[in-house]
Amino acid sequence: FYDEQWGGIPSMEGFFDSGCFGRTDFGNACYNDHHYHFGYFVVSAATLVKLEPSFAADVAFTSYVNTLIRDTANPSHTDLFFPRFRSFDWFDLHSWSRGVVPSADGKDQESTSEELNLLYGILLWGRVMRDSVLQELGATMLSLSAVTIREYFLMEDGNPHHPPKFVKNRVTGIFFQNRVDYVTWFGRRHEQIHSIQMLPLT
C-alpha cells in the first residue's frame, strides 16, 4: 500500500480508522516506528541474499527491500515517492520514532537497538547487493547513531546530559525532544524498559 499523501508505505491496519491514535501496529499507519519494524525485514533480506545469492536477481524481492529502505532512510533528493531521511535526524544524529501525529513533548525515540538494527541492515544490504552508496550510507548512519545512543540513551556513571539520580537507571526509556521518561509505551517494569534497548536478540 503506497500512501500518496505522505509518500510512504504505512500499514493498512489502522490507516483508515484509529491507527494514528490507537495501538494498531504501534501507529505504523501514521509512520510511527517504521525504522524499528522495517529493520527486521532488511536484515533478514541481506542474510538471505548472503546465504542464497540467487535472490539478488529477484527483481520483486529486491525492489521490496529497497522500498523499505526508501521509506525510512531515503538519501535521494530526486526520489519523488519518498521523503529524504524520514526517521533520521542529521542534527541530533539519531532517529525519531514518532510519525506524523504531533505531540506536546515533540518527537520521541524508545528502542535505540531497533534503530541500529535497521542501519546495520542497510549496510549489509548494500554489501550483499554490491551497492557502495547504500553500504556507505548504512555505515555512516550506524556509526553516528551508535555514538549518539551511547552518549544520550545508555547512561554510564558521570553522564553529563542527565541528572545523577536519573543516570542510575542506565537507560533512558522514552527520550522525547523536551523530556525523558523512564518508562516504555507498553509498560513501566524495569525489564521492559531495559529489554526494549536490547532487541533484536540475535
The DSSP code sequence of 2-69 is -BTTTTB---STTTTTTTTTS-GGGGGGGTTTHHHHHHHHHHHHHHHHHH-GGGGG-HHHHHHHHHHH
User: Any bridge partners for residue 8, and if so which?
Assistant: 3
Distance between CA atoms of residues 160 and 181, nearest Å: 17
Catalytic residue among 33, 71, 108, 115: 33
Catalytic pick among 25, 71, 108, 114: 114
Coil, helix or strand at residue 180? strand
Q: Show the beta-strand stretches assigned E in 85-161.
A: 88-89, 94-95, 108-109
Task: Tell the residue number behind the cell numbers 503506497, with chain if given.
Answer: 2
**33 annotated active-site:** yes
Please state, in angstroms and as integers, the Cα–Cα distance from residue 86 to each residue in 3, 23, 34, 56, 73, following that order. Answer: 14, 21, 9, 26, 6
Catalytically annotated residue among 25, 71, 108, 110: 110
Peptide bond into 200 cis (omega under 30): yes
Cα–Cα distance between 124 and 105 in angstroms, integer? 34
- Residues catalogued as catalytic: 33, 110, 114
